[in-house]
Amino acid sequence: MRFRDRVDAGKQIAKALKKYQKHEGVVYALPRGGVVLGVEVARALGMPLDLLIPRKIGHPLQPEYAICAVVENGELVCNQQEVARVDPEWFRQEVEAERGEARRRRELYLGGRKPTAVEGKTAIIVDDGIATGLTMEVSIRDARRRRPKHLVVAVPVAPADTVERLSREVDEFMVLDASPFYLGAVGAYYDRFLQVTDEEVIALLRSVVAKEQARKHGHP
């Protein structure tokens, strides 16, 4: 299965999640790429859009290889075997730095806007795809802490073993491409997979807020 771009993937996810249209809930996007999809899903379901901001901690000798993921509140998910092999002081500093970066991004993207209350409602976590699953796993824990009644993860692509593992952590795991043959990288499923900038994320979030306010005032 291929997608033209993130907007196309977002529209297809929104269609697959149509049954949640009348639910009270919140769509959580993972920045940066997931925000493009999250906007499409939030608009289609008539839900507010918020962010979960996981940060990867890369191996000191191979920064692209994630050994841990962390969110703002301190929740950690790690490859314990890899963490045991690195310098503890280096690791502690990296965790603190990435927590700080997550908080900085929330302020940058949302400008002090308070998190949307989801207790007793439906929470839908959206990203543009999953590779190792560390950042999604820590995001699931972050969302669970907010006590939703029903927790959904919705992504275009993910490796079969990651889907199996993370499905146990949520009420529904929806993946558009459920093929057992993963192509090795999320970008391999997209015709156009450019880096999403901070400026684009801010503009997308503002467009959703403007739409929400217009709807509250009776404008379609």
99 lies in some domain: no
Reduce the DSSP state of residue 122 to 3 states and report it.
Answer: strand
CATH code assigned at 186: 3.40.50.2020
Q: Which residue has the higher pLDDT, 171 or 66?
A: 171
26 lies in some domain: yes
User: In the predicted model, what is the mean pLDDT of residues 109-117?
Assistant: 90
Q: Are 128 and 154 within 8 A, CB to CB?
A: no
Cross-sheet strand order for the sheet of 49-51: 49-51, 25-29, 122-126, 150-157, 172-177
C-alpha to C-alpha distance for 150 and 56, rounded to whole angstroms: 26
Q: What is the band of 220 on the pLDDT scale with cuts at 50, 70, 90?
A: low
Q: Please count the helices (runs of H) and the strands (runs of E) in the chain.
A: 7, 8
Q: Does pTM top 0.85 for this prediction?
A: yes
64 lies in some domain: no
Q: What is the band of 209 on the pLDDT scale with cuts at 50, 70, 90?
A: confident
- Give the domain extent around 147: 6-53+110-216
Split into its structural domains, the chain has a count of 1
The full length of the chain comes to: 220
134 lies in some domain: yes
Nearest CA among 79, 38, 49, 50 for reference residue 62: 79
Query: Does residue 177 carry a pLDDT above 90?
Result: yes
104 lies in some domain: no
Q: What percentage of the chain has pLDDT greater than the value 90?
A: 85
Q: Are 41 and 71 within 8 A, CB to CB?
A: no
C-alpha to C-alpha distance for 20 and 165, rounded to whole angstroms: 24
* Greatest Cα-to-Cα distance within the chain, rounded to the nearest angstrom: 58
115 lies in some domain: yes
Sign of CA dihedral 210, 203, 105, 176: positive
178 lies in some domain: yes
